[in-house]
Chain A
């Protein structure tokens, strides 16, 4: 079945440093979504990318969708302590119904 892997599994940075998580799918995706889950919380939708090579920005967050629509990345510039949490990519394959397959997640810890 479809697999979506993320690296790294865990990253600990100092506040102000940059952070990047990478997402790779075993199959081509119709779109990719990113979610953030704070400790003890639930996944919260951040953004969706649909087009090959698409790049979107949300303040300090930059999201990219690969040309082959099989990989994606999330880059955070100048991390803040509020960025702490687990970041999940989630891919939607080309099937008749939406079936979002979540990546393995990257846990980000930011020290002040």
Chain B
């Protein structure tokens, strides 16, 4: 069983469209994250949820809206897609109560906006 699974793996869409990426983890972790990796491989945190509560919200355009229906799921909806949104988006999870464990990443969603 995949620990952190993201769908879709690839997403090609036109500018102006709205798209969603889904993430699910079966590790029993209570904290989930969205990271964006650009073409230079920089990994930047976007959002974090702890037990369905938003705890980290970095400087991200409000076209990006995360949603966590339960602590095993974290989705990312993007409105009015722009060329600059092209990147790989990684979902990750960790155990906040454990305090200092590593993050488990999903395999990523490669978003290409044309």
List A residues 50-79 near B (Cβ within 8 Å). 50
Cβ of A48 and Cβ of B103 under 8 Å apart? no
Cβ of A45 and Cβ of B104 under 8 Å apart? yes
Q: Give the dominant DSSP class at A's interface.
A: strand
Q: How far is the CB of A5 from chain B (nearest CB, A)?
A: 11
B45 cross-chain contacts in A, Cβ below 8 A? 99-102
B43 cross-chain contacts in A, Cβ below 8 A? 43, 88, 90, 102, 105
Cβ of A45 and Cβ of B102 under 8 Å apart? yes
CB < 8 Å: which of B42, B56, B102 contacts A99? Answer: B56
Q: B23-63 CB contact bits vs A (8 Å, 1 = yes)? A: 00000000101010000011111001010000110000000
A104 an interface residue at 8 Å Cβ cutoff?
yes
B interface residues, Cβ below 8 angstroms from A: 31, 33, 35, 41-45, 48, 50, 55-56, 90, 92, 94, 96, 99-108
